[in-house]
Amino acid sequence: MKIFKTTTRKIILLIFVFVFTFNTLAFAGTNPSRAEIESMIEDVATKKSYSFSIAEGYSKS
C-alpha cells in the first residue's frame, strides 16, 4: 500500500522546489552587519533583563 499516489508526490515536490527557490532568491546575501547583530542582542538582553555581556557570550558560543 502506497502512502501517496504519484500525482500527490509530484505536487508536493513542486511545492518544495518552489518554496526553496523563492527563499533562496529572496533572502540570499542579506546577512546583517556586526553592529546590527550587536544591537539586536542588546535589545533582547534589555527586554529579558539580562546583562549584555552574558547575552553576547551566549551568542558567540
The secondary structure of 18-51 as a DSSP string is: HHHHHHHHHHTT-PPPHHHHHHHHHHHHHHTT--
Q: What is the pTM of this model?
A: 0.43
CA end-to-end distance (rounded Å), the chain: 47
Q: Is the pLDDT of residue 61 over 70?
A: no
> Would you place residue 2 in the very low, low, confident or very high pLDDT band (cuts 50, 70, 90)?
low
Burial 6-30 (b: 16+ CB within 10 A, else e): eeeeeeeeeeeeeeeeeeeeeeeee
